[in-house]
């Protein structure tokens, strides 16, 4: 079933094309006709094939892309996350004005779920796609699905990262390296000398923010200390960052500040520090990233970096519309990189 599905998605089996008979498939794969029937039934139920009595089994016409549906698919890693509602608002404002509707999906930052979302989109009639890649620091393993989008002439725009082997694809980004650089430099300028960093290992934003952190240390002539850096993955994001910072303190590492991957991580670190009797910013300064609602309403108002979510959504939608209208890249009027801004609040204190 998977192999036939991949042949359909890759275009090897085209819409309307007749599939080999049950006997031929049984012989090709060395399995019984009963097993072949079960595989075909799954494909038919999922809309990949249709069966015509007395004629045979055919690749569904639904796999052919029809233009001008006025549907745009948007795939994000999370929908309920603190950033994405405003991101969607920005896209919706631009697309609705042009008569488009949004089909919204999320992956939970899972590459397997991303594949499922892309397969579903390929089964639907959409004009274009805006997608936040899942675990974008890792090589993309869904290349056949993106290649099928290319073959079907469905343009797509990446937001907040792109896969290593797809850097040439249209992408809207925040300058994450510069954002983390601004935060780290601010801490250095205010007298901090033992600055821990917490970064996400499986997306490109984490890698870029780590670069900015390192650059600020290097410019100040301060050593990079691996023991002060925490790397975490999507699956352990709710526990590992705060636990690892606590372990640094228990090991009596003399840290005076923590640069966190985002505002959510910063809030968890602050709560942990409160539990063990440390005060922010008196004992340690803590920074976030994204300037989300919780940066203003959490236990301590966070020094952070602005993340213009609505603007990013608007820019992604505008870029996709340019692609749909056939505007070449050299004539594009949409900026691809957003400049971050430092937002100073109460979670940091100058050190002597």
Where is the domain boundary, 287, 307, 327? Answer: 307
CB atoms within 10 A of CB 283: 14
* Per-residue pLDDT, 134: 94
259: left (phi over 0), alpha (psi -120 to 50) or beta: beta
**Judgement on whether residues 6 and 94 belong to the same structural domain of the protein:** no
pLDDT band at 40 (very low <50, low <70, confident <90, very high): very high
* Per-residue pLDDT, 330: 86
- Percent of the chain residues past pLDDT 90, beyond the cut: 77
Checking if the pLDDT of 254 tops 80, the result is yes
* Per-residue pLDDT, 79: 79
pLDDT band at 62 (very low <50, low <70, confident <90, very high): low
Give pLDDT tens digits for 184-222.
Answer: 999 999 999 999 999 999 999 999 999 999 999 999 999
CB atoms within 10 A of CB 245: 25
Could you give the CA distance from residue 14 to residue 60 in angstroms, rounded to a whole number?
9
For the full predicted model, state whether its pTM sits above 0.85.
Answer: no
346 in a structural domain: no
**What is the span of the domain harbouring residue 108?**
71-173+309-338
Give pLDDT tens digits for 141-173.
Answer: 999 899 888 888 899 999 999 999 999 999 999
pLDDT band at 64 (very low <50, low <70, confident <90, very high): low
Give pLDDT tens digits for 308-347.
Answer: 889 999 999 999 999 999 898 889 999 899 999 999 999 9
How many domains is the chain built from? 3
* Cis upstream peptide for 281 (omega within 30°): yes
**Judgement on whether residues 181 and 292 belong to the same structural domain of the protein:** yes
Checking if the pLDDT of 66 tops 70, the result is no
Q: Please check whether residue 232 is in contact with residue 200, taking contact to mean a CB–CB distance below 8 angstroms.
A: yes
**Judgement on whether residues 262 and 328 belong to the same structural domain of the protein:** no
What CATH code is carried by the domain that includes residue 27?
1.10.10.10
**Judgement on whether residues 302 and 331 belong to the same structural domain of the protein:** no
Q: Please check whether residue 149 is in contact with residue 123, taking contact to mean a CB–CB distance below 8 angstroms.
A: no
**Judgement on whether residues 138 and 28 belong to the same structural domain of the protein:** no
Indicate the average pLDDT of the chain. 92
Which one is predicted more confidently, 54 or 242?
242
**Judgement on whether residues 47 and 78 belong to the same structural domain of the protein:** no
* Per-residue pLDDT, 289: 96
Give pLDDT tens digits for 224-253.
Answer: 999 999 999 999 999 999 999 999 999 999
* Per-residue pLDDT, 9: 73
pLDDT band at 15 (very low <50, low <70, confident <90, very high): confident
DSSP assignments along 39-62, one per residue: HHHHHHHTTSEEEETTTEEEE-GG
Beta bridge partners of 174: 338
Scanning the structure block, which residue is given the tokens 């050190």? 351
Query: Could you give the residue ranges of the DSSP H alpha helices within the chain?
Result: 2-10, 22-29, 33-45, 84-97, 111-123, 143-151, 176-189, 204-219, 240-250, 263-275, 293-297, 309-324
**Judgement on whether residues 166 and 183 belong to the same structural domain of the protein:** no
14 in a structural domain: yes
**Judgement on whether residues 43 and 79 belong to the same structural domain of the protein:** no
Helix (H, G, I), strand (E, B) or coil at 123: helix
* Per-residue pLDDT, 222: 97
Mean pLDDT of 22-29: 93
């Amino acid at each position: 079933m998977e192999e036939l599905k991949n042949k359909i998605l890759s275009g090897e089996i085209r819409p309307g094309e007749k599939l080999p008979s049950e006997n031929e498939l049984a012989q090709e794969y060395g399995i019984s006709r009963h097993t072949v029937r079960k595989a075909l039934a799954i494909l038919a139920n999922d809309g990949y094939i249709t069966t015509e009595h007395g004629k045979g089994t055919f690749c569904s016409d639904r796999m052919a892309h029809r233009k001008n549906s006025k549907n745009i698919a948007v795939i994000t890693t999370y929908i309920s996350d603190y950033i994405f509602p405003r991101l969607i608002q920005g896209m919706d404002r631009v697309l609705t004005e042009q008569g488009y509707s949004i089909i919204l999906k999320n992956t939970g930052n899972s590459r397997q779920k991303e594949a499922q979302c892309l397969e579903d989109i390929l089964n639907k009639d959409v004009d274009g796609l805006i997608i936040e890649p899942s675990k974008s620091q890792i090589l993309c393993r869904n290349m056949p699905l993106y290649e099928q989008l290319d073959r079907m002439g469905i343009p797509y725009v990446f937001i907040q990262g792109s896969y290593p082997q797809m850097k040439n694809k249209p992408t809207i980004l925040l300058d994450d390296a510069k954002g983390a650089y601004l935060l780290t430099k601010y801490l250095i300028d205010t007298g901090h000398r033992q600055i821990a960093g917490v970064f996400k290992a499986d997306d490109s934003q984490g890698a870029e923010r780590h670069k900015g952190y390192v650059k600020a240390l290097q410019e100040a002539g301060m050593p990079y200390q691996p023991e002060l850096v925490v790397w975490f993955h999507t699956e352990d994001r709710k526990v590992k960052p705060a636990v690892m910072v606590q372990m640094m303190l228990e090991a009596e590492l003399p840290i005076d500040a923590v640069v966190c991957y985002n505002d959510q991580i910063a809030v968890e670190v602050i709560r942990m520090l409160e539990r063990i009797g440390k005060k922010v910013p008196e004992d340690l300064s803590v920074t976030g990233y994204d300037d989300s609602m919780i940066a203003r309403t959490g236990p301590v108002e966070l020094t952070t970096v602005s993340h213009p979510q609505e603007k990013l959504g608007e820019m992604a939608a505008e870029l996709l519309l340019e692609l749909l209208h056939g505007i070449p890249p050299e004539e594009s009027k949409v900026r691809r990189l957003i400049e971050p801004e430092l937002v100073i609040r109460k979670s940091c204190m100058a050190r002597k």
